[in-house]
Every structure is written in structure tokens, then in C-alpha cells.
Structure 1
């Protein structure tokens, strides 16, 4: 009886043969030789130390910089520079456009700055420089070294009347103010000392109304005496009335000390 071979069996046989051939070839490959491994093929890479040192010395690769805190003076300079730049930006704004009105605005800004500068200089000269002037050395007037002797006298009223009758209202104002200091001393409102200032005396007066009147009297006296102010009869009589009213208030107050 003849047995016919099925194509299916031929295919299986062929696949089996090819499989055997392929497996032997794979194991025969040099990549899978005995004793071969990843560790046996590892290569050690060495870095150039000079190259590492060069990177370490380069500030661009320094990620651990210590930021130094600015001093108060440096902060002030930075703030001042910022304000100056803002001022220039305000002053020169619009000039690059070449517009006529922008140039007019620049001129007005400059005039405004000059006006403010002159005003500050005038105020400084009026209220500071004048107060620092020494009294003029006039033989008809008294030196500051004589203040204490005058305050100890009892005839200041006579000196006031003499100066007023001669029309020397500036000198009469000086006697009036020294008379106020005399009464403040006698009634223990102040402790008179030649080296003290009027501000020192004002701080010693505890009674509010007397301290307020003394503040006016001291300002008037300093303005007239040290400021070389030409005092007229009307202004003198108005000041004299306030000075005498202050002396009456001192008398009517309770004795201090």
C-alpha cells in the first residue's frame, strides 16, 4: 500500500532542519563565546585633571558664589544715582522729538529750578545767617559781656527811657529784653547764666503763657539786635507793650522755687 506524503509534513521537516542550522550558527557566533561578558569589555575613561582645574577656576561655572551685602553708603549712592537719572529724564523728556513746546517746557523747568534755588538761598540768609551775626561794636551800645552786670542793676527802666527818648529804639529793645530776663530770674522762672541761650531759658519756663510770650520776645530781640533791623517808633511801641505785659504776667504768677 503506497502512502502519499502530505505537504504539511514536508513543511514541518524543513522548518525543523532550518531551526537546527540557525541555532548552531548562533552559538558559534563570537558574540556568545564562553567567558565573554560586559565586564570583560569595560574600558576605564580617565579625565584630564588640568581640564577639571580650568573649569573650577572659571567663574562662569561657579554656582556657589557668596553675594556680598551692600553697605549703607553704597545703597545711598545707588539711590542717589537713581534719583538723578529720574530727574534728568523728567528735565529732558520730549527733547529728542524736536518739538517747540518741548523746548519751551525745558526752559520753564530750568527757570523753576533756579527760582527754588534763589528762594532757599534767601531763606537761609534771612533766618540762619542773620541769627549767627555778632552784635556790632558800637560805643553807644553795650557788649554782650555786660549783660550780667545790667541784669543785676535796678535801673533798667531808666536806661530804657533814655534810649527811647534819644530815638535809639534798637538799644531800647535790648534793655527791654534784658529787663524780662531780670524778672524771670528774680521770680525763679529761670536760672540765669551768661553762656545760656534764649532757647535754654525757654525750656526752663514751665508756665505755658509766659513761655509763649518769652518766645515772641526773644525772636523780636534777636531779629532787631543781631539782624541790624531798622526799627521804627510804631513797631517799637507795639513790641514794648507786649514786653511790659509779659513782665506783669510774671509778677502775677506764683513764685517758683
Structure 2
């Protein structure tokens, strides 16, 4: 009996819902089939990125992850100095210590540059660089070269008087030395050659006494002319008399 009841209930529901669906279809009056489906056959354009696409977005503005900078030897050296400064001056943070290190290195660099400039200027002045800054520098340099080339035609007594009047003591000793070589060459004690050294001339001298005198005068000349110091009056007068004595002995 129960089974018959369920069967009748199923048939009733099926008929009811089937009629309802047909009613809805009738109300719309539309029935769709496979023929009603439309297929889009239009050509699809494939998008492509420009070759420089990555380059446009490769700047720092598009880097969102901060990377720690790789330290080099210079960076590690500054950090080492910063640690020392922190211990010496009691800096409370590393940033303040690093700022002091930067200032210290800049001052050190300036001092180093000034020291190098000082050495260059001093070297130039010791090589008679003051002639370069003089008004008659070209004329004097030409005359100086001519003295070397025409040793036997130079009036050294006149040049020595001029150099003494102008207060050029080192140049005066230079003239005395060249005058001595001129007289030695005239007396055939040596053979003059601008390329020869003091040792070459010393080897050519036969007289032992004069050889000793020339060795001493060569020492004075090298000491005064190439020495990096101010020539005091006492040393100048002593050297001057020694050269004049040897020159007069050759006459």
C-alpha cells in the first residue's frame, strides 16, 4: 500500500513540473537549437612587448627591495677608523663617528696636497727656478746655456761681480767652479767636456796636491750648488776664498 502511494506521488509531481516548464516555454515563445549558436571567427591580434621593455623598468625607481651595499677595502678602512674614533672621543653612535672620519680624511687630503705642492716649489727654486718667475727669465736661461757651451769665451770675473751684487751666493759658487775648470783646461791640466763629471776631471789631474785641492773644491761645489739649504755668509766666504786661491795658483 505504501509503495503504491509513493508511485502515485511521483507521477503527480512529474506531470505538474512538466506542465509548468512547458507553460514557461510557451510564454516566451522561444526554443533554442544548436543552429542558433554563433562562433566568433575574427582574427585575434597577438600583443608583443617592445625589446626595450625591461630597460624602461630597470631603474632604481622600480627596485622595491633594498640590497645591502657590498663593502670594499676603503669602506672597511673607514669603519675601522670610526671604531677608533668612537673609543677615543666617545661617540654615542656610529653615524657621528663616521662623520668625524670623513672630516678627518678630507683635512688629511688637503694637507697632503699642500705638502706635495711645497716639495714641487722647493725643488724648482733649488734648481734656480726663481729665474723662471723673473722678468728676464728667457734671457738668463739662454745665457746660462751659452756659458756651458762657450766656457773659454766667458768673463767669469764680471759674472761673479754681478751675482754677488744681486745676492745670488749659490750661483756665485757655480761661476767659481766653472772658472776653475776653464783655467785648468787652458793650462792643459784637464780636457774640458760638458759631459764629464768631477770624477773624470779628478782622474786626469797629475799633481797630487792639486788633485786634493780639486777634490775639496768639488765637494764644496756639490754641497752648495745641489744642497737644499740656505747658504750662510760664513760658508760662502770660506768657499769663495778656497776657489780664488786655487784659481790664482794656476796662473
Asked if TM exceeds 0.5, the reply is: no
Structure with larger RCO (C-alpha < 8 A, sep 6+): 1
TM value normalised by structure 2: 0.42
